[in-house]
Amino acid sequence: MIGEEITLKGVRKSYGSTVAVEPLNLEITAGEFVSILGPSGSGKTTLLTMIAGFEYPDEGRISVGNRDITRVVPNKRGIGMVFQKYALFPHLTVAENVAFPLRMRRQSPHDIRTRVAAALDIVQLSAFAARYPHELSGGQQQRVAVARALVFRPPVLLMDEPLGALDKKLRESMQFEIKALQKSLGVTVVYVTHDQEEALTMSDRVAVMAGGKLAQIGSPHELYDEPRDSFVADFIGKMNFVPGRVIGREADEMIIRAASSELFRLNARKLAGKQDQLVQLAFRPERARLVRKSQARPGALGGTVSASVFVGSHHMYVVDVSGDDTRPVHVQAEPGSDVRFSAGDEVEILPDPAHLTAFPLVEVR
Ligand code: ADP
């Protein structure tokens, strides 16, 4: 395994009065694949740029293995990089492009030939060695960029939206290729993306950024099943939110009155709420069922179906919740089930209690 660990301690960066990255700590283990995910402007690129060395932090320390690289220039860091714009040299062939980092490092012609051949083999482009970049498809060009970044066997590979310019199908196959390559080489990867599906598919852990801060870091499962706050809950996958109020507590259960005045019980572990606190009940579309309206019952939300949408693998019902005109709730029909509800139907939404959670309405971050 060639990967080494990356440690960021108290790293902060501002541009004038804009704080791009608030002081943050991040430890990435050797051979790990970590994605940095977040909306535009959340500080992802700034964070990556500091690891790459194109910007220095105002404060804090960055190390790779046991080397402090905080103020080392980029080409002395020994880090591989791939960006969205392939940045291949147009006047050099594929083989010459891949050889470039080795020439810069003054390797012998024999070593260069062997290593370039091996790198092209890894990305399955041996047959294209003599072509020029403009004679390749976008996906092939990006594979050349990956080969060039890996040819000097760096312990760390940084990737900034590397598949952003490719169409969806190609992007998905490249995701698997890059992931397989990363695993077989054991290189540590930091991967910036704003595409949460891509981050969940590829990563060992995902770091979610918001406003220059690390909102949460965890495995894809942890982020999906145990989001720390409503921002992460909303950003990862689809989450329904219904406003409510804490009206009491019995033993270890919080009692919440939501929208249509029905009562929900929630384990107090999930919400450290106080009496009268305004909250948002939260559940995912696949963690709830719809039934025809009978009588109001606890643990159910009354509503009216406004649409039934076919999304390819299943139907999604869109339901206007009685007493809540903020935003409609989505409930996923079980895959393969008949469409049983249509617009105008009066229904009850039954969130699965095990997967129902709540967040304080106003969060301080
Ligand atoms: P992201 O990659 O998540 O879109 P960035 O790291 O590019 O976010 O930007 C974070 C914040 O820092 C934004 O508010 C952005 O406008 C600001 N910023 C980034 N680079 C510069 C720069 N070179 N000069 C001034 N402000 C910048």
> Is 232 close to ligand 1, i.e. is its CB under 6 Å away?
no
Please, what is the end-to-end C-alpha distance for the chain in angstroms?
38
User: Is residue 113 domain-shared with residue 195, that is, in the same domain?
Assistant: yes
User: Is residue 180 domain-shared with residue 313, that is, in the same domain?
Assistant: no
- Residue 43: left (phi > 0), alpha (psi -120 to 50), or beta? left
Instruction: Identify whether 344 is part of a domain.
Output: yes
Q: How far apart are CA 365 and CA 291, in angstroms?
A: 38
> Is 54 close to ligand 1, i.e. is its CB under 6 Å away?
no
Closest atom of ligand 1 to CA, residue 212:
10
> Is 49 close to ligand 1, i.e. is its CB under 6 Å away?
no
User: Is residue 257 domain-shared with residue 220, that is, in the same domain?
Assistant: no
pLDDT of residue 169: 84
Instruction: Identify whether 1 is part of a domain.
Output: no
Edge to edge, the sheet with strand 262-267 lists 262-267, 253-258, 240-250, 278-283, 357-360
Distance 147 CA to ligand 1 centre (A): 28
User: Is residue 288 domain-shared with residue 305, that is, in the same domain?
Assistant: yes
Instruction: Identify whether 365 is part of a domain.
Output: no
Q: Which residues of 25-40 are buried (b: 16+ CB within 10 A; e: fewer)?
A: ebebebbbbbbbbbee
Per-residue pLDDT of the chain (365 residues; tens, 9 = 90+): 789 999 999 999 999 999 999 999 999 999 999 999 999 999 999 999 999 999 999 999 999 999 999 999 998 998 999 987 768 999 999 999 999 999 988 889 999 999 999 999 888 899 999 999 999 988 899 889 989 998 888 999 999 998 887 888 888 888 988 898 899 889 999 999 989 999 999 999 999 999 999 999 999 999 999 999 999 999 998 999 999 999 888 888 888 988 766 688 888 777 777 788 889 999 999 999 998 887 767 788 889 999 999 888 788 999 999 877 778 999 998 776 676 899 999 999 999 988 999 998 865 44
User: Is residue 193 domain-shared with residue 111, that is, in the same domain?
Assistant: yes
- Here the CATH number for the domain that contains residue 322 is 2.40.50.140
Residue of 14, 17, 18 to test ligand 1 pocket, by largest number of atoms within 8 Å of CB: 18
Residues 6+ positions from 6 with CB-CB distance below 8 Å:
26, 27, 28, 51, 62, 63, 64, 156, 188, 190
> Is 46 close to ligand 1, i.e. is its CB under 6 Å away?
yes
What three-state secondary structure class fits 250?
strand
User: Is residue 73 domain-shared with residue 199, that is, in the same domain?
Assistant: yes
Domain containing 228 equals: 6-233
Q: How far apart are CA 329 and CA 41, in angstroms?
A: 28
User: Is residue 258 domain-shared with residue 198, that is, in the same domain?
Assistant: no
- Which of 233, 256, 281 is a domain's end point? 233
**Residue 310, CB-side half-sphere exposure with 13 Å CA sphere:** 6
- Nearest residue by C-alpha to atom 10 in ligand 1: 43
Q: How far apart are CA 254 and CA 365, in angstroms?
A: 23
> Is 147 close to ligand 1, i.e. is its CB under 6 Å away?
no
User: Is residue 163 domain-shared with residue 271, that is, in the same domain?
Assistant: no
Residue of 11, 13, 15 to test ligand 1 pocket, by largest number of atoms within 8 Å of CB: 15
User: Is residue 151 domain-shared with residue 218, that is, in the same domain?
Assistant: yes
> Is 164 close to ligand 1, i.e. is its CB under 6 Å away?
no
Distance 41 CA to ligand 1 centre (A): 6
Instruction: Identify whether 336 is part of a domain.
Output: yes
Residue of 36, 42, 46, 159 to test ligand 1 pocket, by largest number of atoms within 8 Å of CB: 46
Distance 211 CA to ligand 1 centre (A): 10
Q: What global pTM score does this model have? A: 0.88
Triad 145, 148, 152: Cα angle to 5°: 150
- Which of 177, 199, 233 is a domain's end point? 233
User: Is residue 247 domain-shared with residue 229, that is, in the same domain?
Assistant: no
> Is 45 close to ligand 1, i.e. is its CB under 6 Å away?
yes
Helices (H), the chain: 44-52, 94-104, 109-122, 138-150, 168-185, 196-202, 220-225, 230-235
> Is 42 close to ligand 1, i.e. is its CB under 6 Å away?
yes
Q: How far apart are CA 223 and CA 208, in angstroms?
A: 9
- Here the CATH number for the domain that contains residue 50 is 3.40.50.300
- Which of 233, 259, 274 is a domain's end point? 233
Q: Cα dist. 281→317, 350, 351, 365 in Å?
A: 18, 12, 10, 19
User: Is residue 175 domain-shared with residue 290, that is, in the same domain?
Assistant: no
Distance 255 CA to ligand 1 centre (A): 43
- Nearest residue by C-alpha to atom 11 in ligand 1: 20
Which of 360, 345, 238, 336 lies closest to 302 in space, CA to CA? 345
Q: How far apart are CA 266 and CA 352, in angstroms?
A: 11
**Residue 269, CB-side half-sphere exposure with 13 Å CA sphere:** 5
Domains identified in the chain, total number: 2
User: Is residue 256 domain-shared with residue 185, that is, in the same domain?
Assistant: no
